[in-house]
């Protein structure tokens, strides 16, 4: 239910585009449906959401790493940090990626530890 409340707060305070508002409204409706269905189906749905978030938390930095290798000037935060320090964008992106892998590892260890 917390994720539904957060999505509602995003609509109220942050999201202003039509597409974003509709996406969040549909997301809230789907969350509420699964919340009220309950049981194993709800647990599977929330596990799927957790997996998608965890997967994206690693794939995003991997994309940044590839971008920093192929087009360092277009590598977002890694490029900005490279401009402010002596380390190239690729090194910053590699650090981001390694940190995301470590976070994913810890998250999975905590998940499996409770089972």
* pLDDT tens for each residue of 25-80: 999 999 999 999 988 999 899 889 989 999 999 999 999 999 999 998 888 899 99
Quote the tokens at residue 73: 């000037």
The pTM (predicted TM-score) of the whole model is 0.74
Q: Classify residue 101 as exposed, middle or buried by CB count within 10 Å of its CB (0-12, 13-18, 19+).
A: middle
Mean pLDDT for the stretch of residues 77-97:
95
Angle at which helices 76-84 and 89-113 cross, to 10°: 130
Q: How many CA atoms lie within 13 A of 103 on its CB side?
A: 14
Name the residue ranges covered by the structural domains of the chain.
Answer: 1-37, 50-114
Give the whole-angstrom CA distance, residue 14 versus residue 7: 10
pLDDT value for 3: 85
């Amino acid at each position: 239910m917390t994720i539904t409340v957060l999505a509602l707060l995003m609509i109220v305070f942050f999201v202003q585009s039509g597409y974003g508002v509709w996406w969040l409204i549909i997301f809230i409706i789907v969350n509420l449906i699964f919340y009220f269905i309950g049981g194993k189906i709800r647990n599977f749905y929330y596990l799927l959401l957790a997996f998608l978030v965890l997967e994206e938390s690693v794939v995003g930095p991997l994309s940044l790493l590839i971008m920093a290798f192929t087009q360092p000037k277009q590598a977002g935060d890694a490029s900005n940090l490279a401009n402010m320090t002596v380390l190239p964008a690729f090194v910053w992106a590699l650090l981001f990626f390694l940190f995301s892998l470590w976070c994913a590892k810890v998250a999975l260890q905590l998940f499996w530890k409770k089972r």
